[in-house]
Amino acid sequence: MLGGGGKTESRELRRLAGGVDRGGPLKIGVIGVGVMGSNHARVLSEMAGVTLVGVVDPDRTQREFVGRTLGCAEFTDIESLVRAGVEAVTIAAPTHLHHDLALDCISRGLHVMVEKPIAPTVEEGGAIVAAARRAGVTLMVGHVERFNPAVESIKRAIKGQDILSIAITRVGPFPPRMSNVGVVIDLAVHDIDLIRWFTDSEIVEIQPQLSSAVAEREDIALLQFRTASGVLAHINTNWLTPFKARTIHVATRDKYLIGDLLTLQVTECFGFQPDGSYSMRHLSVGYSEPLRAELRAFVESIRTGRSPAVTGEEGVASLEIAIRCLDTRAELSRAPQRKAPRRVVG
Ligand SMILES: NC(=O)c1ccc[n+]([C@@H]2O[C@H](COP(=O)([O-])OP(=O)(O)OC[C@H]3O[C@@H](n4cnc5c(N)ncnc54)[C@H](O)[C@@H]3O)[C@@H](O)[C@H]2O)c1
């Protein structure tokens, strides 16, 4: 239990205790219970081996609604959550607050899972990683798509394969609430993470095409990459398609995989013959809620002390690529004016 002994003392006590209360349920809290955080709280409230101690949100209506619905305490500040005995938190407040909230929690010796993107800038993301390392606490980043069962099935199918190319489509209508980021930081960062994870290689070349067709920020992005291992990858993302679509195509030397992340169907083409014929099969894809699997992985990494499924370093690396896509745009917009059409629609 943490008391009023100050941040340094409570961190030392936690370290001496081995990080978590061994044997008992892990006491966890959620910071920011809007759209995403209320789902964190719901899943954690149902999870075995975990006690949802409480939620923190400055929005009184929202925090009282979540507290009442899930039967947990609700607070206006982190200090009160800490006094209630929390050992770990998930942070699902707006991205521009991730840095300050994460550093506050880490300085109190709490294990942290922070929603994607880890922070708005690489510097802030790096500071979170460095603070967690110094404090010896677990830091995970919420790249939930890694836990999509269709994505997991593709990852298994390409194990040991010579990957040649990856094409990801993540399109849909405008989100009901416009955030202060565009499609690259909001959506493409998921797929940048998947490309790095599938290939186990860093992205070394970037060719972005961005356009702000309707919104102030970019709402169409066609991003091309090359990894250090030589894989060519492509992300097509926008907020202009009237329906949601999320697909992944992966070509390896021996197989072609087609995954639908919404219907959870994964098809494998294989056995290519000189006459152009080949075989096809549907791969088995189980169903589990990705967020549940992600939060379970966070809890397991705290309990075992093993590296989390998505490390802070990986979160920063994916963010850095996303920001480089935007920086390239900034460089282009400083270039001499040409009579280029503002709207670029394929
Ligand atoms: N992994 C995913 O697929 C996914 C999906 C959606 C959002 N997200 C991420 O989750 C985060 C939140 O997004 P959202 O769509 O839920 O936003 P949201 O606006 O619905 O919710 C944010 C909540 O944080 C609260 N908040 C504001 N300041 C706070 C503070 N100082 N302390 C605690 N809470 C505070 C707000 O009152 C609000 O209730 C963002 O980082 C976003 O990128 C991830």
pLDDT digits (tens, 9 = 90+) for 69-124: 999 999 999 999 999 999 999 999 999 999 999 999 999 999 999 999 999 999 99
Residue 214 pLDDT: 87
Atom 5 of ligand 1, nearest CA residue: 36
Atom 10 of ligand 1, nearest CA residue: 92
Q: Return the higher-pLDDT residue of 199 and 284.
A: 199
Which atom belonging to ligand 1 lies closest to the Cα atom of 95?
41
Pocket test for ligand 1, best of 36, 112, 121 (most atoms within 8 A of CB): 36
Q: Does the structure show a pLDDT above 90 at 179?
A: no
Token pair for residue 32?
């920011």
Q: Does the structure show a pLDDT above 50 at 211?
A: yes
Model confidence band, residue 178 (pLDDT cutoffs 50, 70, 90): low
Q: How far is the CA of 35 from the centre of ligand 1 (A)?
A: 7
Q: What is the pLDDT of residues 66-82, one digit of tens each?
A: 999 999 999 999 999 99
Residue 328 pLDDT: 72
Convert 45-62 to b/e letters by CB count within 10 Å (16 or more is b).
bebeebbbbbbbbeeeeb
Model confidence band, residue 136 (pLDDT cutoffs 50, 70, 90): very high
Give the rounded percent of residues in the chain with a pLDDT score beyond 90: 83
Q: How far is the CA of 275 from the centre of ligand 1 (A)?
A: 53
Token pair for residue 16?
């001496």
Q: Does the structure show a pLDDT above 90 at 164?
A: yes
Mean pLDDT, residues 194-205 taken together: 97
Residue 324 to residue 332: CA distance in whole angstroms = 12
Query: Could you tell me the pTM of the whole model?
Result: 0.89
Model confidence band, residue 337 (pLDDT cutoffs 50, 70, 90): very low
> How deeply is 183 buried, as exposed, middle or buried, from its count of CB atoms within 10 A (0-12, 13-18, 19+)?
buried
**Average pLDDT value over all residues in the chain:** 90
Which atom belonging to ligand 1 lies closest to the Cα atom of 56?
33
Model confidence band, residue 57 (pLDDT cutoffs 50, 70, 90): very high
Instruction: Return the minimum-mean-pLDDT range out of 100-104, 205-209, 290-294, 334-338.
Output: 334-338
Mean pLDDT, residues 173-189 taken together: 87
- Cβ-Cβ contacts under 8 Å for 240 (sequence gap 6 or more): 171, 173, 174, 213, 214, 219, 220, 345
> How deeply is 131 buried, as exposed, middle or buried, from its count of CB atoms within 10 A (0-12, 13-18, 19+)?
buried
Q: Return the higher-pLDDT residue of 91 and 1.
A: 91
Q: What is the pLDDT of residues 2-13, one digit of tens each?
A: 233 344 444 444
Is residue 85 within 8 Å of 27, Cβ to Cβ? yes
Model confidence band, residue 175 (pLDDT cutoffs 50, 70, 90): confident
Q: Residue 20: which of 40, 50, 48 has the closest Cα?
A: 50
Please give the radius of gyration of the chain, using alpha carbons only, rounded to the nearest integer: 21
Q: Does the structure show a pLDDT above 80 at 257?
A: yes
Pocket of ligand 1 (CB under 6 A): 31-37, 56-59, 62, 92-95, 97, 101, 115-116, 142, 144
Mean pLDDT, residues 293-316 taken together: 97
Q: Residue 341: which of 229, 211, 147 has the closest Cα?
A: 211
Atom 11 of ligand 1, nearest CA residue: 92
Q: How far is the CA of 305 from the centre of ligand 1 (A)?
A: 27
Atom 43 of ligand 1, nearest CA residue: 116
Mean pLDDT, residues 46-55 taken together: 97
Atom 19 of ligand 1, nearest CA residue: 34
Residue 3 pLDDT: 32
Helix H or strand E encompassing 123: helix 122-135
Token pair for residue 139?
């830091």
Residue 110 pLDDT: 98
Residue 208 pLDDT: 97
Instruction: Return the minimum-mean-pLDDT range out of 125-134, 168-177, 305-314.
Output: 168-177
Pocket test for ligand 1, best of 40, 43, 57, 291 (most atoms within 8 A of CB): 57
Q: Which residue has the tokens 């200090």?
A: 79
Residue 346 pLDDT: 30
Q: Residue 102: which of 66, 129, 63 has the closest Cα?
A: 129
